[in-house]
Amino acid sequence: MRTVGAVLFPGFELLDVFGPLEAFGVLRAEFALLTLAERAGPVASAQGPEAVAARSFADAPPLDLLLVPGGIGTRTQVENGALTGFLAARARAAEVTLSVCTGAALLARAGVLDGRRATTNKRAFAWVVAQGPRVTWVPVARWVDAGAVVTSSGVSAGIDMTLAVIARLVGRGAAEKAARRMEYRWASDADDDPFATLYGLG
């Protein structure tokens, strides 16, 4: 059983968090889900609705997987040392750290992506790249698996990445089971990224 810690902050993107948590959550014998934030309690998403952070950063147990969403809140959270410090410390200890969308900007500012290959949201690509000058940014990728750190493209790409991480950690059958339960057509090719072209990066 692995514990997945999903990091929340004001202005997080709803699907960046809840797409991956849905996929992990289908496999309840394999993954326990935990939401975390600087302070425990309600955290407002970019879209308005609030989710509850069950634990504060200070009170977080060991995390096997660390999930970092994007969203408009990243624009200010890149300056939040409490958040980037938590990410730096916990990414070192985690088996796999995952970011979705502009969550890669937070990992970049935390130094977690230095010397690694990574991708991010395609519409916000230039801004995220500017947060990580020592990162090998990959413009055309649905997600990039760099081993201990896996980064996905925008929003819904987080679901495809999560299924790939499940396949790696648990097995292809488990990922296919999760996709089937979600009635989701898994885009399982990490290199197939039509949105890069759409946003002039392909």
**157 belongs to the binding site for its own copies (CB under 8 A):** yes
- Tell me the pairing of strands 31-37 and 55-56: parallel
Q: Which residue's CB is nearer to its own copies, number 110 or number 152?
A: 152
> Which is nearest to 161 in space by CA: 121, 131, 199?
121
CB of 147 to its own copies, least distance (A): 23
> Which is nearest to 78 in space by CA: 116, 37, 106, 53?
106
- Tell me the pairing of strands 55-56 and 65-68: unpaired
**Which segments of the chain are extended strands (E)?**
2-7, 31-37, 41-44, 50-53, 55-56, 65-68, 96-99, 117-118, 136-137, 143-145, 149-152
Q: Which two tokens stand for residue 96?
A: 């796999």
Q: Which residue's CB is nearer to its own copies, number 22 or number 114?
A: 22
Angle in degrees, CA 81, 6, 58, rounded to 5: 50
CB of 192 to its own copies, least distance (A): 10
CB of 120 to its own copies, least distance (A): 11
2, 3, 10, 25: which one binds its own copies (CB under 8 A): 25
Q: Residues 87, 58: contact at Cβ < 8 Å?
A: no
**185 belongs to the binding site for its own copies (CB under 8 A):** yes
Q: Give, as ranges, the residues between 55 and 94 that touch its own copies (CB under 8 A).
A: none
181, 189, 197, 202: which one binds its own copies (CB under 8 A): 181
The region of 25-33, 74-82, 110-118, 133-141 touching its own copies under the rule CB under 8 A is 25-33
CB of 34 to its own copies, least distance (A): 8
**133 belongs to the binding site for its own copies (CB under 8 A):** no
| Binding region for its own copies (CB under 8 A) | 6, 13-15, 17-19, 21-22, 24-26, 28, 32-35, 42, 45-52, 54, 121-123, 153-157, 159, 180-185, 187, 194-195, 198
